[in-house]
Amino acid sequence: MTSARWSWRRMPAGVSVVVVLAALLALVACERAAAPDHSAALGLPPLAVPADNPLTPAKVALGRKLFFDRRLSPNRTMSCAMCHVPEQGFTAHELATSVGIQGRSVRRNAPSVLNVAWQKRLFHDGREITLEDQIWGPLLSANEMGNPSMGYVVERVRGIEDYAGLFEAAFGGEGASAGRIGAAIASYERTLTAGDSRFDRWRYGGERSALTALEQRGFKLFSGKARCVSCHSVGERDALFTDHGFHNTGIGWARTYLTPERTRVELAPGVYAEIDRRTLATFSEPSVRDLGRYEITLDPRDRWAYKTPSLRNVALTAPYMHDGSFATLESVIEFYDRGGIDNPDKSALLAPLGLTGEERAALAAFLRTLTGSAVAALVEEARRTPSGR
């Protein structure tokens, strides 16, 4: 891809700055208009790359290196990839909610970063809007990567020998800065494209036999009787499986109000005891509050509303929901079949569905057809990158 530096260098001296700028703008416009050559993107809309951060191979490679580099945390243990593990759908299977630096608990489940370029808002509560800025959430969170400041991270990266020259090569001679670290990681994330699933080939690629009869039946239920499409949108030419909205399904509400009277606690390996709520409260951490979208908007109607996740690659990204409370797709489908969990702010779009066992199985089979064709290649590419000590 043509970079801005390339054009500057080759402009004959004396060409007015205005002309050069106009040419640059035209270049950037072309880059935005031209559909990127993403053979892995059947079923996804064109990729929108910000004009001020065009994708270049050097920047993507640098971003990949940073994403996997554990030296980006003070004690050199945590990288982005510790919670967004390539082999685990770029999320983490073993943990319902993440664990960060020095074993500190994080209150939410790590979403997959596959296809994250198409998310209009980031995090379960939508508090960030660009990938370039989002990185500072985990980098600076005391319970994730635990860095004290942006300057600390910049200084750390500048001091690491094997980054010497890499920022300069990717950013027209400029060294590491907070903005350029964000630009590089965001660029890598934009290449994590995973469309062209069997569903895409069936619906958008004209391959009538790409889905079995059961899976086709599942899609019919998904967009009909089970009403999943009212939030997990599917378009005529592409599908992101999200309306980019926030909904209260009752999970967050239940977590706040339905604390069980008794909890089973493991005292030693294999030794359990039933402990009542009041006793437990005397020695355990209070459960963390999570009010979802409300924490950002302070609008009471947004209490316990969470972002509709894309369902692409969902067969690879267990456990599910903002708190990782469901281990399987079957349990998610049973939850929707019951109409979610009733509470005063529950979405009006959820009601008991009356699905038969066969219909639930068809829905699950359909959800398993959404795995992108490029995932294995992305994992392989991720692990080929030397990722720092």
Given 27, 55, 116, 176, the residue binding ligand HEC (CB under 6 A): 116
Q: Tokens 């086709």 map to which residue?
A: 216
Q: Which stretch binds ligand HEC (CB under 6 A): 12-20, 35-43, 119-127, 155-163?
A: 119-127
Q: Is 332 in the site for ligand HEC (CB under 6 A)?
A: yes
Shortest distance, position 308 Cβ to ligand HEC, whole Å: 4
Q: Tokens 């191979």 map to which residue?
A: 57
On whether the CB atoms of residues 293 and 302 are closer than 8 A, the answer is: yes
**Contacts with ligand HEC, 80-109, as mask; x by CB under 6 A:** x-xxx-------------x-x-----x-x-
Indicate the residue among 27 and 198 with the shorter CB distance to ligand HEC. 198
Q: Is 321 in the site for ligand HEC (CB under 6 A)?
A: yes
Q: Is 123 in the site for ligand HEC (CB under 6 A)?
A: yes
Residue 258, Cα to own-chain centre: how many angstroms?
Answer: 28
DSSP 117-164: GG-SSBSTT--B--HHHHTHHHHH-TTTT--S-HHHHHHHHHH-GGGT
Q: In the structure encoding, which two tokens stand for residue 268, read together? A: 């030693």
Shortest distance, position 334 Cβ to ligand HEC, whole Å: 10
Residue 349: count of CB within 10 angstroms of its CB: 13
On whether the CB atoms of residues 359 and 51 are closer than 8 A, the answer is: no
Indicate the residue among 59 and 322 with the shorter CB distance to ligand HEC. 322
Shortest distance, position 157 Cβ to ligand HEC, whole Å: 12
Q: Considering only CA atoms, which of 169, 148, 156 is closest in space to residue 60?
A: 169
Q: Is 153 in the site for ligand HEC (CB under 6 A)?
A: no
Indicate the residue among 27 and 228 with the shorter CB distance to ligand HEC. 228
**Nearby residues of 54 by Cβ (< 8 Å), 6 or more positions away:** 1, 3, 4, 28, 31
Q: Which stretch binds ligand HEC (CB under 6 A): 43-51, 191-199, 306-314, 381-389?
A: 306-314
Given 306, 341, 359, 362, the residue binding ligand HEC (CB under 6 A): 306
Q: Is 333 in the site for ligand HEC (CB under 6 A)?
A: yes
State the burial class of residue 276 (Cβ atoms within 10 Å of its Cβ: 0-12, 13-18, 19+). exposed
Given 114, 122, 170, 192, the residue binding ligand HEC (CB under 6 A): 122
Dist CA 77 CA 102 (whole Å): 9
Residue 358, Cα to own-chain centre: how many angstroms?
Answer: 31
Site for ligand HEC, residues 261 to 300, rule: CB under 6 A: none
On whether the CB atoms of residues 332 and 321 are closer than 8 A, the answer is: yes
First to last CA, the chain: 31
Dist CA 327 CA 172 (whole Å): 46
Dist CA 89 CA 28 (whole Å): 32
Q: Is 312 in the site for ligand HEC (CB under 6 A)?
A: no
Q: Considering only CA atoms, which of 364, 333, 83, 344 is closest in space to residue 219?
A: 364
What 3-state DSSP class applies to 69? Answer: coil
**Contacts with ligand HEC, 213-252, as mask; x by CB under 6 A:** -------------xxx-xxx--------------x-x-x-
Given 317, 343, 369, 371, the residue binding ligand HEC (CB under 6 A): 317
Q: Which stretch binds ligand HEC (CB under 6 A): 4-12, 112-120, 203-211, 374-382?
A: 112-120
Site for ligand HEC, residues 56 to 85, rule: CB under 6 A: 78, 80, 82-84
User: Applying CB under 6 A, which residues contact ligand HEC?
Assistant: 78, 80, 82-84, 98, 100, 106, 108, 110-111, 113, 116, 119, 122-125, 131, 134-135, 138-139, 144-145, 185, 226-228, 230-232, 247, 249, 251, 306, 308-309, 311, 314, 317, 320-322, 329, 332-333, 336, 347, 349-350, 363
